[in-house]
């Protein structure tokens, strides 16, 4: 039986009435996305239509999911809300803090020892507030959610950018910061600008080396890392129905890399099969009864261009395998053109490591397809030329694939099976390399490949592909190998060719597991003590941020003018810093250390305007804070893309940065800044970015009349005594302006609770 079945049945019981009401107020046939969104309005039944890309809407998500690295700060904030229990079903998943070093068993044991106080904190706070707790080793949050919690037509928010993985089961699942999660767990509405809609019509059927991963690799190449910002990507057509539920999840998962709010597929037989296979036949039965509401209206499918803001068509029968990268997940190369690109760009042809698994590609089907390639290496007398690792997505998948002999196949070709955790995907990996400065290449079946993301090395060129392509290239040891056309010389000197991979969508003998790793919360958590040591360097209770002083902000120092790509990895790195995710003061020592300074092309080196000397970014900002001086950060396009980590917003807020002024924001990061009482501003004219000088003192004017749609004025006071002004736009609504004035959204909650 499924978790929270009563909640799911209530959603379905209201679905017909809410969809019909939405159809009446909108005045036209509805897409699937619109049906789910309007069915989850906080107000209940829709009474008016909302304009896509313009109107902010209050929603009532069905559930919340948090991974251990982000759950710490989310739950530290929730503790301040004064609520006895979470208002909606919520879960914590311990997947980010396990360092991949030698192998699953030892790495898990090391993690349990090293992270004991964090796990104890998360376990105890989950117990107290009625939150389901998935222990270390249980699996990666998104795979576990897909196996246990995702359901067609539902709405979920998760404190991880790849939460849209649940779109593989027809759920609107959106990555958020911890403050958003805190609101929903406290029983408040969740605010989102009504997304625009991108329709992707899939025709034909995949074959050969092409896989579901190649669909999203192709879409990323079309839309780029910001092309999906503010949009839901909705997949439909005969091609969509031919994809497995886990294949759909892969596409939804990596939709985060195009900036999409989420991605979703209509309910179909593949989803029903997956639900039944994961012992949720009761949900499949319930979904079948309302399936007309779990897909777009027929008129939408008949004339999609009329109902989507943008329409893309992809013929799966013609889709070629893709490899994306390096350094950005939207640099898409068809396999037939990749070898030439490697040579023309001078990327290292020798492949050091191939890594498969992660939350994006660790389903049973993924593992079987990769294993079918590995089996050929054994049978054809081929020796793997690159290091090779496998990261199962969950204990359910790991146990089942081990039972079916698949993990043994990987080990026979020299593969190392890592713990059921994020591991190398987020830099939690002990990289084996002879010279860390040597230019090298790795290829993964993960989702993200920013510089230093996987191993902390600027010298690493990381590429993204499907698990089967990764496996084939690891066997060849070369990026220029094309398994569709090329041969390999085996140990006997014979030329052999790899055959097309073969996968099994769902295990023939069914899934199996001895201990899935779930811990139910206490029936009554009122007497449970939350475990936080006052001397801990990893956990720190939060103090409220100061409210706005009621005046314009003047005399701000420029902390850094970031040049080029500045993701949340650049703003708040993961890897070794993950251990401080529950300690705001300590983790603030990584603030913006990865951002490139416009003035010297260096990272973590900025001018301290108080001394005139160059110093590290966090130290410089701490000097400004100690002197009672505010500062401002200036950035480029799509600032804050990537992970949902709210630490990238909380750290500058904690250290005294007052505003972030950029050419454009990634959605989640802009919201996170607003939630923490920061000013998130954009240049009205992006050319004004060029006018900001290193020694400027900067004023933000118009705050006493701060209002929706009304630009603020930026005054640059140059060191030579001259000054100039320009306009800065913002997207704050009335409620968000109240967050700013109160000092944070959480402060506003408490003010209203105590009113």
Catalytic pick from 40, 52, 93, 96?
96
Catalytic pick from 162, 218, 645, 669?
645
The verdict on whether 645 is a catalytic residue reads yes
Instruction: Count CB atoms within 10 A of the CB of residue 749.
Output: 22
Q: How far apart are CA 429 and CA 97, in angstroms?
A: 11
Angle separating helix axes 245-254 and 141-148, nearest 10 degrees = 140
How far, CA to CA in Å, does 713 sit from each of 54, 424, 704, 706, 731? 23, 44, 12, 11, 15
Nearest-Å Rg of the Cα atoms of the chain is 25
Is 316 in a helix, a strand, or coil?
helix
Catalytic pick from 95, 214, 268, 688?
95
Beta-strand pair 132-134/518-519:
antiparallel
How far, CA to CA in Å, does 647 sit from each of 71, 291, 453, 540, 669? 11, 40, 17, 14, 10
Instruction: Count CB atoms within 10 A of the CB of residue 281.
Output: 14
How far, CA to CA in Å, does 120 sit from each of 94, 112, 127, 131, 600? 11, 10, 10, 14, 44
The verdict on whether 242 is a catalytic residue reads no
Q: How far apart are CA 142 and CA 391, in angstroms?
A: 14
Residues 675 and 739 sit within 8 Å (Cβ to Cβ): yes
Catalytic pick from 643, 644, 697, 744?
643
Facing residues of 155 across strands? 172
Phi and psi, residue 355, nearest 5° = -130, 125
Q: How far apart are CA 356 and CA 700, in angstroms?
A: 48
Residues 502 and 494 sit within 8 Å (Cβ to Cβ): no
The verdict on whether 432 is a catalytic residue reads no
Q: Is the dihedral of CA 423, 429, 432, 434 positive or negative?
A: positive
Q: How far apart are CA 743 and CA 727, in angstroms?
A: 23
Q: Which of 302, 46, 81, 51 is nearest to 184 (CA)?
A: 81
Residues 496 and 382 sit within 8 Å (Cβ to Cβ): yes
The verdict on whether 478 is a catalytic residue reads no
Catalytic pick from 18, 63, 295, 448?
448
Q: How far apart are CA 421 and CA 80, in angstroms?
A: 30
The verdict on whether 643 is a catalytic residue reads yes
Query: Rounded to 5 degrees, what angle do the CA atoms 144, 147, 153 make?
Result: 110
Q: Please tell me what DSSP assigns to residue 143.
A: H
The span from the first CA to the last CA of the chain, in angstroms, equals 43
Beta-strand pair 553-561/697-701:
antiparallel
Catalytic pick from 160, 268, 404, 569?
160
Torsion of CA 478, 480, 483, 488, to 10 degrees: -60
Torsion of CA 331, 336, 339, 342, to 10 degrees: -20
The verdict on whether 667 is a catalytic residue reads no
Beta-strand pair 488-489/495-496:
antiparallel
Q: Active-site positions?
A: 95-96, 160, 448, 643, 645
């Amino acid at each position: 039986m499924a978790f929270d079945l009563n909640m799911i049945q209530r959603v379905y019981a209201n679905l017909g009435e809410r969809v019909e009401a939405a159809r009446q107020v909108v005045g036209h046939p509805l897409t699937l996305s619109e049906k789910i969104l309007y069915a989850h309005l906080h107000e209940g039944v829709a009474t008016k239509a909302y304009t896509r890309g313009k109107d902010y809407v209050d929603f009532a998500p069905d559930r919340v999911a948090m991974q251990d690295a982000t759950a710490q700060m989310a739950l530290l904030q929730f503790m301040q809300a004064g609520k006895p229990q979470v208002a909606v079903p919520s879960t914590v998943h311990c997947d980010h803090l396990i360092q991949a070093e030698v192998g699953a068993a030892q790495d898990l044991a090391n993690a349990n020892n090293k992270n004991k106080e964090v796990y104890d904190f998360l376990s105890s706070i989950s117990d107290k507030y009625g939150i389901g707790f998935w222990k270390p080793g249980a699996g990666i949050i998104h795979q576990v959610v897909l196996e246990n919690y995702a359901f067609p037509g539902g709405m979920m928010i998760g404190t991880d950018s790849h939460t849209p993985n649940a779109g593989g089961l027809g759920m609107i699942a959106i990555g958020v910061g911890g403050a958003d999660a805190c609101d929903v767990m406290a029983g408040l509405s969740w605010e989102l600008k009504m997304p625009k809609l991108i329709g992707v019509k899939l025709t034909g059927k995949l074959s050969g080396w092409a896989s579901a991963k190649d669909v999203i690799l192709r879409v990323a190449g079309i839309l780029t890392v910001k092309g999906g910002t503010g949009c839901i990507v909705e997949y439909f057509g005969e091609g969509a129905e031919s994809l497995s539920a886990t294949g759909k999840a892969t596409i939804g998962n990596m939709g985060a890399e195009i900036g999409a709010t989420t991605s979703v597929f209509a309910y179909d037989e593949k989803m029903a099969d997956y639900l039944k296979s994961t012992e949720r036949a009761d949900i499949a039965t319930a979904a079948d009864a309302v399936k007309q509401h779990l897909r777009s209206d027929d008129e939408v499918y008949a004339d999609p261009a009329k109902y989507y803001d943008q329409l893309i068509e992809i013929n799966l029968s013609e889709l070629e395998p893709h490899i994306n990268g390096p350094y950005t997940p939207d640099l898409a190369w068809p396999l037939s053109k990749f070898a030439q690109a490697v040579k023309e760009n001078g990327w290292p042809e020798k492949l050091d490591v191939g890594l498969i698994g992660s939350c994006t590609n660790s389903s049973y089907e993924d593992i079987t397809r990769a294993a079918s390639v590995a089996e050929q290496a054994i049978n054809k007398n081929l020796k793997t030329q690159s290091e090779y690792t496998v990261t199962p997505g969950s204990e359910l998948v790991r146990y089942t694939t081990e039972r079916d002999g698949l993990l043994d196949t990987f080990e026979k070709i020299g593969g190392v099976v890592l713990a059921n955790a994020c591991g190398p995907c987020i830099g939690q990996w002990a990289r084996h390399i002879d010279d860390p400065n040597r230019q090298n290449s790795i290829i993964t079946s993960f989702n993200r490949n920013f510089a230093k993301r996987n191993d902390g090395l600027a010298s690493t060129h990381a590429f993204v592909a499907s698990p089967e392509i990764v496996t084939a290239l690891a066997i060849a040891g070369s990026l220029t190998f094309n398994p569709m056309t090329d041969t390999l010389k085996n140990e006997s000197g014979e030329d052999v060719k790899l055959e097309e991979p073969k996968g099994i969508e769902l295990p023939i003998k069914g899934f199996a597991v001895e201990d899935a790793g779930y811990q139910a919360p206490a029936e009554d958590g009122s007497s449970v003590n939350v475990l936080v040591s006052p001397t801990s360097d990893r956990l720190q209770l939060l103090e409220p941020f100061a409210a706005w002083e009621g005046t314009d902000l003047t005399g701000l120092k420029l902390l850094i003018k970031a040049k080029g790509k500045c993701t949340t990895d650049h703003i708040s790195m993961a890897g070794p810093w993950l251990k401080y995710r529950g300690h705001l003061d300590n983790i603030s020592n990584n603030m913006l250390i990865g951002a490139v300074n416009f003035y010297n092309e260096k990272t973590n080196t900025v001018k301290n305007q108080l001394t005139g000397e160059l110093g590290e970014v966090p130290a410089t900002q701490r000097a400004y804070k100690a002197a009672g001086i505010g500062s401002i950060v200036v950035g480029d396009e799509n600032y804050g893309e990537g992970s949902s980590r709210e630490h990238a917003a909380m750290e500058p807020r904690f250290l005294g940065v007052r505003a972030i002024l950029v050419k454009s924001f990634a959605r989640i990061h802009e919201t996170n800044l607003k939630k923490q009482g920061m000013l998130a501003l954009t240049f009205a004219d992006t050319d004004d970015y060029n006018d900001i000088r290193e020694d400027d003192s900067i004023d933000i004017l118009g705050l006493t009349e701060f209002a929706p749609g009304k630009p603020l004025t930026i005054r640059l006071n140059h060191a030579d005594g001259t000054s100039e002004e320009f306009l800065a736009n913002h997207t704050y609504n009335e409620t968000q302006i109240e967050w700013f004035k109160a000092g944070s959204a959480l402060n506003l909650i408490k003010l209203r609770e105590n009113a």
